[in-house]
Amino acid sequence: MKLMPLCVAGTGLALMLPSAFAEGFLEDSKASLDLRNFYMNRDFREGSGQSQREEWAQGFILRYQSGYTPGAIGVGFDAIGMLGIKLDSGRGRAGTGLLPVEDDRDVSDDYSKAGGTLKLRASSSEFKLGTLLPKWPTLQANDGRLLPQTFEGMQLQVRELKGLELTGAQIQRVVQRDQTSDEGLALNNKNRRFSGSLDGGDFELLGLSYRVLENTDFSYQYARFENIYRQQFVGLSDRRKGEWGAFNTDIRLFLSDDEGNAHGGDIDNRAFSAMGTYKLNGHSLGVGYQVMSGDSAFPYVAGANPYLVNFVQIGDFAEKDERSWQLRYDYDLAKVGIPGLTFMTRYLRGSGADVRGADGGGERELDVELQYVFQSGSLKGMGVRLRSATYRSDFARDANDARVIISYPLSLL
């Protein structure tokens, strides 16, 4: 097994710097190792093709974050190194997204990847160049399997005014969660939503986030996926708390159309989604609604997570003309004397989806999740997460999905 050396490049760089220059660089450095054991089974209930995907793997994610050197412009470096080891898989069961699948459908015993990020800080603003794990409304890195998806590019975050953050970014390449090498960006084409080559150029965005009131945030982003689509996002989140409990509101609106040479074909979509959640005494009840309008489905970068309230364990409910709703319940069992144990269940139903070649436009999903995080002792911080999803659809294969995830974070610096 081979792990690429970039994962420790930040430490080596710091040690070569003069001690005065590296004062903040070393003193504020952090290093951690995340252990992630992941079992996944997706059983397709009908349809042709592979009937089941089942794999088990162990992941190691080593992160290093330096501080900044002294001066008007501080210099720093971050690094990430990742290793995935196959515990159980096979040609007839591969494809869960935990492990890379070779051209002959075989699965490697292990795989690794790494990246480094140069960062500069001036006042309260920060510039990063290299490996990024973005969490923007228009582009969110996927961390839902053994190892996270990473992107290559640059970003600038300006925070010079209280409550206001400006963001600019350009992304050129991506390393998918179950791959070792980078590749160009492409358009997600779930259920054959789009036509064409689907390959695009750079992804660029400009945006702002502003705290309008103490409990209310407004955000806006404009993104351009070269030769694929343009997209605007407007979001509003509000949090209210009192003796009667707490109520959170999350509203999201996307406006998308095709751009440049339109490699993904005609794109014209307006996606509105909203979620309201009421919390009281450990109980949490949420209701979500999502609607797609326009002449196409919702576009987003392949492999990434769409920032929609009804994007869940299996479905994203983002087909052309689809309307969907969600009912969600959470409970924190610390209220009954079991701190660290939480429960979640949600039910989603979509209708009216216009899918090429489909006989109907409905889909539904039921998710159940139980998670426990050890609160003390030698296992403090270890999390055990059990996830189950039942998915039924008129236009996609029915599936039952089960996952067991054990995670253990270790602080090294």
Q: What is the pLDDT of residue 2?
A: 38
Q: What is the pLDDT of residue 22?
A: 62
Report the pLDDT averaged over residues 180-190.
96
The predicted-structure confidence for 277-316, as pLDDT tens digits, reads as follows 999 999 999 999 999 999 999 999 999 999 999 999 999 9
Confidence of residue 13 (pLDDT cuts 50, 70, 90): very low
Q: What is the pLDDT of residue 299?
A: 98
pLDDT at residue 263 is higher than 90 = yes
pLDDT at residue 1 is higher than 60 = no
Mean pLDDT of the chain: 93
Q: What is the pLDDT of residue 48?
A: 75
pLDDT at residue 92 is higher than 90 = no
pLDDT at residue 132 is higher than 70 = yes
Report the pLDDT averaged over residues 160-178.
97
Confidence of residue 109 (pLDDT cuts 50, 70, 90): very high
pLDDT at residue 138 is higher than 70 = yes
Burial (Cβ within 10 Å: 0-12, 13-18, ≥19) of residue 412:
exposed
The predicted-structure confidence for 375-401, as pLDDT tens digits, reads as follows 999 999 999 999 999 999 999 999 999
Q: What is the pLDDT of residue 387?
A: 98
